[in-house]
Structure 1
Amino acid sequence: MLAEQIAGALAAARTSRVVDDIAKVLWRAAAEGAVGEEDAGRLGEAIEARRAALRMPVSAARPIPLRKPPICKSPDRARSLDRRRRLVAAGWLPPQIAAAFTLAQQAALAVIAQQVARRGSCVLPIDAIAAIAGTSRTIVKDAVREAVRLGFLSVTERRQTAWRNLPNLVRVTASSWVAWLSLRGGRGRKPDHHASEQKNQGTTQRVETSVTAQASYENRRRKPMRHPTKLECRLINVQ
């Protein structure tokens, strides 16, 4: 009867400390003859097995099912497809480079090319690129990874701390792509010399006017003050 109670308490034990208390009760009862040698041996083996089970990691003792991340979907799929097609049709990629990617990947690379054409590099986060291109994070990451492998892009990581990073710095490295963006009027566009000359002429005229005004002011300061004559003093007194 006591052996059955000890077995039930052992099955309900959830910590090693409880198992140790049950073991003390068992061996004391065995010493007093309340539990037979056969039952004591069987319960001793059960106690050791229970201790080993409690020492095992939670993941190994009781596997927890992994939760799949939620699938991000566009709230307006039609508008996302429209943005994707417009970016691809705008021609931000040369034909020989665009042929190596799918339509969605071309849209993601087109967003990067826009940033490179305007600022020299792309520092947008992956989520921002995906939202503008009307694609997903996975497509953006796959497109950038494949473009880096083919030598079209270069990615520079900007680590700040062990837990915080700035968005990666993406640049166009393919010479054909750089030339294509230059023809579109992006970075590397030839300067307008006529406009530059007009701007320089206007700046020169403003500088000359400022210098002339400053010189006139200095001359007035240096000119000695003329004292009134005796006749002028008399006229002033008469008035």
Structure 2
Amino acid sequence: MAGYESGEITTAAARPDKNRFRRERFQGRFARPRPQRSPDRERSIQRRRTLAATWPMPPAMAGMLTTSQVAYARIVADEVKRNGDCRLTLDEIAARGGMCRKTAKRAQDRLAELRWIDVDHRPVKGRKHLPNVVRVVSSEWATWIKMGPKPRPIGGHLCPTTENQSSKTFNVAAAERPQGALEGVRRRSRAPTGPWRR
């Protein structure tokens, strides 16, 4: 103590703990996962509203759901149109629909509660479960999907559109017109008509 008080013995500065941040980041194998957050909330809301505005089901059925639930129905309808059923995981549906996983799960439970879809759970013992198989059991909705337009890729998601709709994401070639066609129409429209025409 006398040496420390007199200053003959100096103390070295404590070394920083390099693994402290690593230990704080890794909280164990069974730690609670961090909540899912969208990197661009406004863009996610716009995507969700756009999907809900494409009429994935009859208006009477869509009026009983929220915007997120209709967006979930849009993604399921596209998969049913292409493959006959939907085998996407809830995380994939949530990423495509601009929502979180819990919202997608609540939308799935709501449609199953209304008996519009049938959810087949596929658990695997000791391993990660297989994705659920979602099938449309509502005859009215199945007819709507069958008679609807063919899905087209829009923004990384298959979204049905009409044949005459154009978008920046489509490769729409400009229509070729013969030269002088528009001038001929203008000359004919300016030509005088009536008994005084020679």
Please report the TM-score for the alignment, with normalisation by the length of structure 1.
0.48
Q: Is the 8 A contact 1:155 1:169 kept in 2?
A: yes
Q: 1:15: which partner in 2?
A: none
Q: 1:153: which partner in 2?
A: 117
Q: Where does 1:208-219 land on structure 2 (aligned, <5 Å)?
A: none
- Which structure is higher in helix share? 1
Task: Give the Cα separation in 2 of the matches to 1:163 and 1:142.
Answer: 24
Of residues 94, 105, 115, the one that matches 1:141 is 105
Residue 79 in 1 paired to residue 34 in 2? no
Gaps of 5+ in 1: 1-66, 188-239
Kindly state the Cα deviation for residue 68 of structure 1 after the two structures are TM-superposed. 5.9
Q: 2:26: which partner in 1?
A: none
RMSD of aligned Cα (Å): 2.1
Aligned length: 122
Which structure has more relative contact order (CA 8 Å, sep 6+)? It is 2
Q: 1:42: which partner in 2?
A: none
Q: State the 4+ residue runs in structure 1 displaced beyond 6 angstroms.
A: none
Kindly state the Cα deviation for residue 164 of structure 1 after the two structures are TM-superposed. 2.7
Q: Percent identity between the aligned chains?
A: 36
Q: 1:212: which partner in 2?
A: none
Of residues 47, 62, 70, the one that matches 2:34 is 70
Task: Give the Cα separation in 1 of the matches to 2:83 and 2:138.
Answer: 17
Kindly state the Cα deviation for residue 73 of structure 1 after the two structures are TM-superposed. 1.1
Residue 93 in 1 paired to residue 57 in 2? yes
Change (3 A) 1:74 1:165: same
Q: Larger radius of gyration, structure 1 or 2? A: 1
Task: Give the Cα separation in 2 of the matches to 1:97 and 1:186.
Answer: 21
The residue matched to 2:60 in structure 1 has which SS? helix
Q: What amino acid is the match of 1:183?
A: M
Kindly state the Cα deviation for residue 120 of structure 1 after the two structures are TM-superposed. 0.6
Gaps of 5+ in 2: 1-30, 152-198
Q: What amino acid is the match of 1:99?
A: G
Q: Where does 1:56-67 land on structure 2 (aligned, <5 Å)?
A: none
Change (3 A) 1:173 1:98: same
Task: Give the Cα separation in 1 of the matches to 2:35 and 2:99.
Answer: 12
Task: Give the Cα separation in 2 of the matches to 1:68 and 1:168.
Answer: 23
Kindly state the Cα deviation for residue 159 of structure 1 after the two structures are TM-superposed. 2.9
- Which structure is higher in strand share? 2
The C-alpha deviation readout for 1:67-108, integer Å capped at 9, x for no partner, is: 764221100112111211111111112212211211112111
Residue 108 in 1 paired to residue 75 in 2? no
Kindly state the Cα deviation for residue 165 of structure 1 after the two structures are TM-superposed. 1.7
Kindly state the Cα deviation for residue 141 of structure 1 after the two structures are TM-superposed. 0.6
Task: Give the Cα separation in 2 of the matches to 1:108 and 1:146.
Answer: 11
The residue matched to 1:154 in structure 2 has which SS? strand
Residue 128 in 1 paired to residue 92 in 2? yes
Task: Give the Cα separation in 2 of the matches to 1:96 and 1:68.
Answer: 40
Q: 1:178: which partner in 2?
A: 142
Kindly state the Cα deviation for residue 138 of structure 1 after the two structures are TM-superposed. 0.9
